[in-house]
Amino acid sequence: KEVVELGGLHVVGTGRHHTERLDNQLRGRAGTAGAFQPRPGVYTYTGQASEHVSLPPKTQPEGPVFPVTVTGLPGGCWQFRIDLSDSHWEGGTFCARGPSLHEVGRGGWMRWDFVVVVVADTSTFHCSSEETVVPSQPRAGAVSRFSCVGSNDHLNTGPVTMSGTSTVVGAEDQAVGSRKMPVLHVREQAAFSGGQTGTYRADVWFGANGLPLREKWSTQVRTPSPLGTATMTGGGEYRIASLTPRS
pLDDT in tens, 101-112: 999 999 999 999
Q: Which helix (H) or strand (E) holds 225?
A: strand 212-225
| Cβ 52 vs Cβ 88: under 8 Å | no
29 class by beta-carbon count within 10 Å (0-12 exposed, 13-18 middle, 19+ buried):
exposed
Whole-number average pLDDT of the chain: 90
Q: Is the pLDDT of residue 22 over 70?
A: no
Q: Is the pLDDT of residue 194 over 50?
A: yes
Q: What is the DSSP letter of 67?
A: E
Instruction: Please state, in angstroms and rounded to a whole number, the distance separating the CA atoms of residues 192 and 58.
Output: 22
Among residues 101, 109, 126, the alpha carbon closest in space to that of 206 is found at 101
Q: What average pLDDT does the segment 104-124 reach?
A: 95
Helices assigned H by DSSP within the chain: 2-5, 20-32
Q: Is the pLDDT of residue 4 over 90?
A: no
**What pLDDT does residue 122 have?**
97
Q: Dihedral angle at the C-alpha atoms of 133, 136, 142, 143, nearest 10 degrees?
A: -50
**What pLDDT does residue 28 have?**
46
Q: What is the pLDDT of residues 147-161, one digit of tens each?
A: 999 999 988 899 999
To the nearest whole percent, how much of the chain has pLDDT over 70? 86
**What pLDDT does residue 15 have?**
67
Question: pTM (2 decimals)?
Answer: 0.87
